[in-house]
Structure 1
C-alpha cells in the first residue's frame, strides 16, 4: 500500500513519514522544490501543476493532506487563508481522485468548531461548528467543499480535527511566550486554572497512520476528534514546553479579573482568550467510530519533540 503525504517537510509531515516508514509503508512525501525532509522518498512538487501532481499521486491508495495556512497579517487575510486551506486543498483532492486514490485524509483543526468551551462542557461529536477566526472558518469551509467533492465518488474522505499539537519550537502565541522566557521576561501565567486539551505529535501520527493503512471501511465518518487523554492548564503547558526547550521560566500571577479585562481590549482580546480560556475535547467516541486503539505508551502524556520547518 502506497501513501502520499503533502507537506512532508513540516512538523507533522516529517514525524508522520517517519512513523509510516517505520511501519514499512511505501511512503511518498510531497514538498515544494528546494525543500527537504531526510526520511521519506521525496518528490519535489509544484502543487499548482495538475499534471505533475497527478503523476506523483499515481498508484497511491491514500493521500494525507497536511498543508495549511495558520497565520496571516495581510489586509486580505481571508483570501490568503482560502487560497491555501480551501482552493489548494480542492486542487490536491482533484488530483488524488484522478490518480485513483481510494482514501483522502484531511488534517483540519478543532478551530473549525470554535475557540473556547465552557469549563466541563467539551467539544464533542454533537457540537455545532461555530468557528471564530479566519483560520477556523477556512478549515470548516474546506471540510464542506471536500464533503461535496467526494460525495458521489468511491473515495473514502476522512477529516481529522486536532487541537494544538505538542512540540518543541511552537508557533503563534506559544512561540512568542518562549521567546520572552528566553530573554528572562517573567510571564503572567502562574495560577491559570483553565482546562485545554492538546494532542502529542506521536499520538496524532499514530492515529493518522492507522487511518491511512486500516483495512476497515472508513467511509461516511463524521469529522474525527483526537486529543490527549487529559487536559492541561496553560501554565502547566508552558512549563512543559519550557523544559522541552531547555528554557528557564519565570512566571507570576494575574488575577482572573485582569484576564477578563484583557479579553475586552481589542489588541489583547484574542491572545488573552486563548491563554486563559478553556478548550476541552471529548474524543472518546473516536475509538468506537474507527476501531482504533492507541498503543499503551500513548495513553500517557508523551515527550515533546522538535518542530521543523513549515509544511510545503
Structure 2
C-alpha cells in the first residue's frame, strides 16, 4: 500500500507519519530544502500542483493539510482565502489523484461542518445537514460536497473524517495554554461550568481511525465523526488536566451567567460560548461501520499530553 500524505509537518500529519510505514509514504511539502529527498515532492500551493504522472504507484492520498481556523482572522476576504486552499485546492489534488489512478482519497475535514454548538443530549451525527458558521467550516463543507460529487463522477473512493477538537503531545493554542495554567497551580474560574458537555479526540485515536480508513471497505464514500467517546464538562476537563499533571486543579466557582454577561460586554460571545456551551458528537455510526472503538482511553491521552508538555518545560 503506497500512500501520499499532505500536511506531514502539521500536528495531525506528523503524528500519522510516525505510525505509517515510512518506506511506503511520499509527502507533499512547501519546504524547498528537502525536495531532493525522493520521499518528498515540492508543492508551492494546492491549486498549481501538477501530478505529471509522478504518482502512478500511489494507492491512497491522505489530505491533512489545510488553511487552519484562525480565531482573529485579519484577512480582507477570509472566505475566499479559505476556499482557495481548503476547497479549490483540495479538489485540484483529488481530481488529479483520480486521473493518476489513485484509489482512495482521505480528507481530514472538521466538526465545524456540522456547526458550533449542540444541546445536551442532542449530539451531532454524520447524517445531519451541514450548518457551518464561519468561513473555515464553510470551506470544508464545500470541499466535502465537491469531493463526494467527484467520487460519483470518477470512481475515486472518498473518505471524509470530521474530528472534534484534537489534543495530544505537541498540541498548541487554547488547550495547551489552559494545561500550562493548570501546571502552574494557578486558581482558575471554571468550577461552576459543570453542566455543559464537550467531545474531544486525542490525536492518538484520530490517527488510529485514519489508519483504519486506509483500506476498510465500509469507508468508501462515507463521512465519519470521531471523538474519544467520552464527553466532559469544562470543569471536568480542567480536573482531568490536573490529574494528568499530578497537580490538582484549583477551581473557583464563578457563576456561569457572569461569563455570558462578560461576553456581551466585551463582544466575545463566541469565545464564551466555546467555554460554557456544549459540542457533542455521536460516533456510534463510525464504530458500527468500521468495527472500531477508540483504542486510547481519555485518561491515558491526557497523561501523554501532559507528559509531553512537562518534557518541553525541562
Partner of 2:14 in structure 1? 14
Corresponding residue for 1:197? 199
Structure 1: unaligned runs, 5 residues or longer: 308-312
Secondary structure of 1:264's partner?
A: helix
Look up the SS of the partner of 1:252 in the other structure.
Answer: coil
> Do the aligned partners of 1:197 and 1:228 also contact (CA within 8 Å) in 2?
yes
Displacement, 1:50? Answer: 2.9
Q: Provide the residue aligned with 1:60 in structure 2.
A: 58
Listed one character per residue, the Cα deviations across residues 129-173 of structure 1 (whole Å, up to 9, x for unaligned) are 211122111111111121222321121111111100112453443
Contact 1:47 1:92 survives alignment (8 Å) = no
1:178-211 Cα distance to aligned partner (Å, 9 max, x none): 5666787643222311210111111111110111
Give the 5 Å matches for 1:211-290: 211-214=213-216, 216=217, 218-221=219-222, 223-241=223-241, 250-265=250-265, 267-289=267-289
Report the TM-score, using the length of structure 1 for normalisation: 0.83
Q: What number of residue pairs does the alignment pair up?
A: 297
Residue range with higher mean Cα deviation, 91-100 or 199-208: 91-100
- Offset at 1:84? 1.5
Report the alpha carbon displacement of residue 242 of structure 1 after superposing the two structures with TM: 6.3
Structure-1 separation of matches of 2:265 and 2:132: 20
* Residue aligning to 2:211: 209
Matched residues in 1 for 2:243 and 2:106: separation? Answer: 33
- How far the C-alpha of 1:46 sits from its partner, in A, is 2.8
Q: Distance in 1 between matches of 2:33 and 2:258?
A: 44
After superposition, the Cα gap between the structure-2 partners of 1:35 and 1:204, relative to the gap in structure 1 and judged at 3 Å, is: farther
Q: Which runs of 5+ in 2 are unaligned?
A: 310-314
* SS, match of residue 210 in structure 2: helix
Residues 115 and 131, structure 2, Cα contact 8 Å, conserved in 1: yes
241 and 13 in structure 1: CA distance in 2 versus 1, 3 angstrom threshold: farther
| CA apart distance, 1:288 | 2.3
Report how far residue 265 of structure 1 moved.
4.2
Give the drift of 1:272: 0.4
1:170 aligns with 2:136: no
Is it true that 1:153 corresponds to 2:151 in the alignment? Answer: no
1:20-48: CA deviation from partner (whole Å, max 9, x where unpaired): 22xx8722222211578xxx944343344
Kept in 2, the 8 Å contact 1:181–1:247? The answer is yes
CA distance in 2, matches of 1:142, 1:163: 18
Q: Which residue of 2 aligns with 1:46?
A: 44
Q: Cα–Cα, structure 1 residues 80 and 50, in superposed 2: closer, same or farther, change >3 Å?
A: closer
In structure 2, relative to structure 1, the CA distance for the partners of 1:242 and 1:44 (3 Å cut) is farther
Q: 1:91 to 1:301 in 2, by over 3 A?
A: farther
Higher relative contact order (CA 8 A, sep 6+): 1
Q: Which moved more, 1:84-93 or 1:174-183?
A: 174-183
Residue 296 of structure 2 aligns to a residue whose secondary structure is: helix
What are the superposed Cα offsets for residues 234-277 of structure 1, whole Å, 9 maximum, x if unpaired? 23334545676798965423201112323434631111000111
- Say whether 1:110 aligns with 2:111: yes
